[in-house]
Chain A
């Protein structure tokens, strides 16, 4: 192997040994559970009368038979084959992989939050309702909106919730508006959410500066426009300088503006979607508000609305009554209905609220400033080594292109794989779609200058390696538990479970 990397150096991932499936560890007769002895009387005769035989399971589920030690070793082994923010720098663009504070985890596990039931008497959950009520207000203030629902479980879920409200709003006014406009740099969830809400999507190209093309926008807006969905700053990390004009164009045509809050980490306390002219906004609490991504979830995607949309909010929201107690507000007759069971991902809301209280409003503004400075610093240092298609200042993230390396037979994917050997999680790659060989970097505010410099130096080194030893990149990574995986075969002949029985 032609590599200058010292393979004896411990990397973030040292679980290189193969890891058996939990099912493969099974030994008949072994147990890991502890259940109480049955303390109520029952007879076999009674039991057979409770449940007809045809309702009973014919073959026991083939679950593994292992001891508690087996379970702990197995999952600890798996964890060692996984990379999280606590392992190292994770500059995944548009995902805001900031540090997940430990106090959030501790308080969310308090029995008073973790072990309560959504249907308990309201008198027995006043602390939970007070927290939710306060969070509703805090998020409304942060986004410049008039009301907030905490129910949506994720960003995409929030998008769909917001679009359903927009649909109801137009329908209540007797208008038949079928189209949702998105720029070509938008998240894939935007058009997908529009479809699930019953809209058609119209995609408009960005202009040479990476911004919404106002002429194109004017061409497509009309009496069929339900909404424009916009991420601002955009997925290119650029603030839409003409946002006020954009809002005017859409509103004049009778459409509403949807703010995809995925990139809110750039603007807290600096500008607010509500003041820019947006009518609906969702926030990704698992991005901006530091709640952990959990390997893919759970998240939370609260939605804020201007007063014109309040009647359509999903039920229920939390209200404070005249006597100072908290309760669920009655659903409006025009509500879009329920979008999720119960009241949203409460455990995530607890973490987000805790995070907000560690900072307060001035602290949150500082978060955004530092996130933006970190991104601009990285862009400034990297622009001589990779192509930067749009000049700064960027906001909390920026995009580069790996297209300059194509002459050496190297692609962005290879750069990303090579980064793994140095203990970094790669940036987002091949997104947004309107930048060739895209590399999208979001450092967040919780990374130090030393960390950024270390990563930048590595990126420069990799660009150099691409020229001098492209093979090295093409075969990377070398230090991970597995090398590159055959994704084509995985999709062609799917093996999606271990088919235990």
Chain B
């Protein structure tokens, strides 16, 4: 048998250990597996590579991808190209964090437990909610879990979701809702935000919750307070998905009437990674505390009265309640939650305000430059944060346009025509603090030349 660097078993170890077990050979350890289901031969899988060969192979694969170090990106649509402070990678590379399991043994897991407690504190502070959990898979599944919680808490089986919620989030919500037997009603938009008249007529006494996103998929800021009044009039719950970085500028959903606030923490120092892993966050009002899904860390004291942290309120969870649990979730995105916490520690009170300010100014500059192009215009006049919809002439081939932009070193915006054909050729454009004025100007030039 060829030796391998991750396996310390020597031939002598193997002989000695087999002798202690009372086995003649490795084969003896597998006698309990029926012969007719034993695999014979070599699995048809990728072959082994030595370290240098593997690095070469992975470098080659990586080089076939256009990354945001080499290309200026105007693509957002739920995943944003913000500056990731270099400190974050150093912290999450501490192997005491990344090689640990869920903190089941609190005496040797105080670091992770405190990190999660701080993450929960950060989320509560940003969202204006009273209780946050340790995190969820992503923003989309967090919203689906919010629908589940709302249905269970109100004992109602219908939810109303705005069509301005991210299309993939809506799809995930529908998949979960089907499993749980929850009816999903979708309402349209007007001027890029949820159509309140349509929303009002969709809510009734059977509605468990209204689910909205703000800033929404088009980048537009929703009138959350008005939506809150509509659903609360029918004693349903309000679920708001919020881009957490925008909360440096926009009012906290908790202050606008949200009962559950969710979202994806990716903008807070988490790299894109082709869409994952990111980190969903989940925060609720105090009334819903014992119905929240996932892990929660609480503060307590040890036998000597010293402050410490533990996993708590576990009576909600699958390992205790099994089929009666509030959710089947067992993990959380602890390492990404740590990234988000480090990001917020780095940015601090003023940094978060300043980064929002830059996003706002640069995106509005870009909107102005791009909408000045002959044939292009802003689709909506609703207020936006760092992303907006640019409508292009009827015959524009967005696929070809994005390929052209790529040749020029740009990753263009999101092609809305597939998800929202009613908008015609339209591009969702995100502008973060990383985009330089010269990037924006050049982007506008190429666009103009392509139309």
Tell me the minimal C-beta distance from B385 to chain A in angstroms: 8
Instruction: Decide if A343 touches B251 in the complex (CB within 8 Å).
Output: no
One of A156-164, A217-225, A250-258, A401-409 contacting the partner: A156-164
Please give me the 3 A-B residue pairs with the lowest Cβ-Cβ distance, nearest first. Answer: A342-B275, A112-B62, A360-B48
Chain A residues within 8 Å of B355, by CB: 33, 35
- The CA of A156 and the CA of B181, in the complex, are separated in Å by 19
Smallest CB gap from B117: residue in A: A497
Q: Which of chain B's residues have a CB closer than 8 A to the CB of A134?
A: 46
Instruction: Give 5 CB contacts A-B under 8 Å.
Output: A100-B99, A112-B64, A294-B100, A341-B78, A363-B2
With an 8 A cutoff between CB atoms, is A46 at the interface? Answer: yes
A363 touches B4 (CB 8 A): yes
Beta-carbon contact of A189 and B274 below 8 Å: no
- Chain A residues in 8 Å Cβ range of B97: 78-79, 82, 84, 294-295
Q: Is B395 an interface residue (CB 8 A)?
A: no
Query: Knowing A51-B221, A127-B64, A445-B7 touch, does A58 contact B39 (C-beta < 8 A)?
Result: no
Chain A residues within 8 Å of B364, by CB: 42, 46, 50
A-side interface residues, number (CB < 8 Å) = 212
Flag if B274 contacts A337 (CB, 8 Å).
no
Known A-B contacts A71-B345, A103-B51, A481-B107; A39 and B79 likewise in contact (beta carbons under 8 Å)? no
Q: In the complex, what distance in Å separates the CA atom of A116 from the CA atom of B306? A: 45
Which of chain B's residues have a CB closer than 8 A to the CB of A58?
251, 255
B108-A480 in contact (CB<8A): yes
For the complex formed, measure the closest distance between the CB of B325 and the CB atoms of chain A, giving whole angstroms. 4
Please encode chain A, from 350 to 393, with 1 for each CB lying within 8 Å of some chain B CB and 0 for all others: 10011011111111111101101110110011000000000011
* B148 close to chain A: CB less than 8 A: yes
**Chain B window 1-32, contacts with chain A (Cβ cutoff 8 Å), 1 for yes, 0 for no:** 11011111100011011101111001011111
- Nearest-Cβ distance from residue A212 to partner chain B, whole angstroms: 14
Residues of chain B lying within 8 A (CB to CB) of residue A21: 114, 117-118, 121
Q: B188 contacts the other chain (Cβ, under 8 Å)?
A: no
Chain A 112-142, CB within 8 Å of chain B: the 1/0 string?
Answer: 1111111111011111101100100110011
Chain A residues with CB below 8 A from B376, complex form: none
Indicate if the CB atoms of B29 and A372 lie closer than 8 Å.
yes
Is residue B55 within 8 Å, beta carbon to beta carbon, of the partner chain?
yes
Contacts of A103 in B (CB 8 A): 51, 54-55
Task: Kindly specify which of B156-164, B197-205, B232-240, B294-302 makes contact with the partner chain.
Answer: B294-302
The answer to whether A164 touches B179 (Cβ under 8 A) is yes
Neighbouring A residues of B138 by C-beta, 8 Å: 153, 340-342
Q: A269 CA to B135 CA in the complex, in Å?
A: 35
Contact A80 to B111, CB < 8 A, known contacts A31-B350, A272-B39, A497-B131: yes
Most buried by A among B248, B329, B402: B329
Docked Cα-Cα span, A235 to B366, in Å, equals 57
Q: Does A329 contact B (CB under 8 A)?
A: no
Range class of the B interface residue count:
35 or more
Q: How far, in angstroms, from A38 to B9 measured CA to CA in the complex? A: 59
Q: Would you give the shortest CB distance from B324 to chain A, in whole angstroms?
A: 8
A127 in contact with B327 (CB, 8 Å): no
B42 shortest CB reach to chain A, Å = 5
Q: Is the CB of B42 within 8 A of A361?
A: yes
- With A and B bound together, what is the CA distance between A155 and B303 in angstroms? 36
Q: Which A residues are in CB contact (< 8 Å) with B307? A: 18
Q: Are B335 and A80 in contact (CB-based, < 8 A)?
A: no
Q: A449–B70 contact, CB under 8 A? A: no
CB distance from B39 to the nearest CB of A (A): 6
A89 on interface, CB distance cutoff 8 Å: no
A110 touches B59 (CB 8 A): yes
A107 at the interface (CB under 8 A from B): yes
Q: Shortest beta-carbon distance, B166 to chain A, in Å?
A: 7
Residue from B73, B299, B357 having most chain A Cβ neighbours under 10 A: B299
Q: Which of B45, B104, B114, B137 contacts A340 (CB 8 A)?
A: B137
Among A336, A356, A431, point to the contact of B45 (Cβ < 8 A): A356
Q: Are A62 and B303 in contact (CB under 8 A)?
A: no
Report the bound CA distance from A268 to B273 in whole Å: 28
B211 at interface, CB cutoff 8 A: no
Flag if B39 contacts A446 (CB, 8 Å): no
Q: Contact flags (1/0) for A34-57 with B, using CB distance below 8 Å?
A: 111011111000110011101111
Are B175 and A337 closer than 8 Å at their CB atoms?
Answer: yes
In the complex, are the beta carbons of B103 and A79 less than 8 A apart? no
Known contacts being A142-B45, A449-B9, is A153 close to B55, with CB within 8 Å?
no
Bound-complex Cα distance A121 to B333 (A): 28
* Interface status of B338 (Cβ within 8 A of chain A): yes
Chain B, 290-349, CB within 8 A of any chain A CB: 295-304, 306-310, 312-315, 317-325, 327-336, 338, 341-342, 344-349
* A485 on interface, CB distance cutoff 8 Å: yes
**Do the beta carbons of B406 and A483 come within 8 Å of each other?**
no
Q: Are A111 and B301 in touch, CB under 8 angstroms? A: no
A205 at the interface (CB under 8 A from B): no
Cβ B21 vs Cβ A33 within 8 A: no
Say which one of A2-10, A193-201, A302-310, A463-471 lies at the interface with B: A193-201
Partner of A369, one of B26, B95, B141, B289: B26
Q: In whole angstroms, how far apart are the Cα atoms of A194 and B327 in the complex?
A: 10
Q: A52-B383, A80-B111, A491-B313 are in contact. Are A366 and B1 (CB under 8 A)?
A: yes
A269–B332 Cα distance when bound, in Å, is: 30
Residue B66 CB within 8 A of the other chain:
yes
Q: Contact between B108 and A127 (Cβ–Cβ < 8 Å)?
A: no
- Least distance between B429 CB and chain A CB atoms (Å): 12
Q: Does B180 contact A (CB under 8 A)?
A: yes
Return the chain B residue nearest A121 by Cβ. B402
- Taking the nearest CB of chain B, how far is it from the CB of A482, in angstroms? 4
A292 near B99: Cβ-Cβ < 8 Å? yes
Partner of B302, one of A55, A188, A486: A486
Residue of B nearest to A35 (CB): B354
Residue pair B45, A57 in contact (C-beta under 8 Å)? no
In the assembled complex, the Cα of A128 lies from the Cα of B318 at a distance in Å of 34
Determine if B449 is an interface residue (Cβ-Cβ < 8 Å): no
Is residue B77 contacting chain A, with contact meaning CB distance below 8 A? Answer: yes
**Which residues from chain A contact B43 at a C-beta distance below 8 Å?**
141-142, 269, 361, 364-365
Residues of chain B lying within 8 A (CB to CB) of residue A208:
none
A347 and B276 in contact, given A105-B93, A110-B59 (Cβ under 8 angstroms): yes
Contact of B54 among A41, A51, A357, A494 (CB under 8 A): A357
Q: Check B451 for interface membership: any CB of A closer than 8 A.
A: no
- A243 & B99 in contact (Cβ 8 Å cutoff): no
Known: A80-B111, A196-B328. 20 other contacts (CB 8 A): A57-B248, A57-B251, A60-B353, A76-B91, A92-B101, A126-B65, A141-B43, A141-B44, A290-B6, A298-B276, A341-B139, A347-B271, A348-B277, A360-B47, A377-B21, A380-B20, A425-B101, A480-B108, A486-B303, A489-B300
With known contacts A51-B249, A154-B330, A341-B276, A295–B98 Cβ distance under 8 A: yes
B302 nearest CB across to chain A (Å): 4
With beta carbons under 8 angstroms apart, the residue of B225, B275, B309, B324 that contacts A346 is B275
B-facing residues in A142-175 (Cβ within 8 Å):
142, 144, 153-157, 159-160, 164, 167
Q: Inside 8 A of A86's CB, which chain B residues have their CB?
A: 95-96, 99
B179 touches A167 (CB 8 A): yes
B349 x A63 contact (CB < 8 A)? yes
A197 with B179: CB separation less than 8 A: yes
Contacts of A111 in B (CB 8 A): 62, 67-70
Confirm or deny: A344 has a beta carbon within 8 angstroms of a beta carbon on chain B: yes
The interface residues of chain A lying within 8 Å CB-to-CB of B106 are 482, 485
Distance between A26 CB and nearest chain B CB, rounded to angstroms: 8
Nearest opposing residue in chain A for B80, CB measure: A117
The contact of A32 among B73, B139, B351, by CB within 8 Å, is: B351
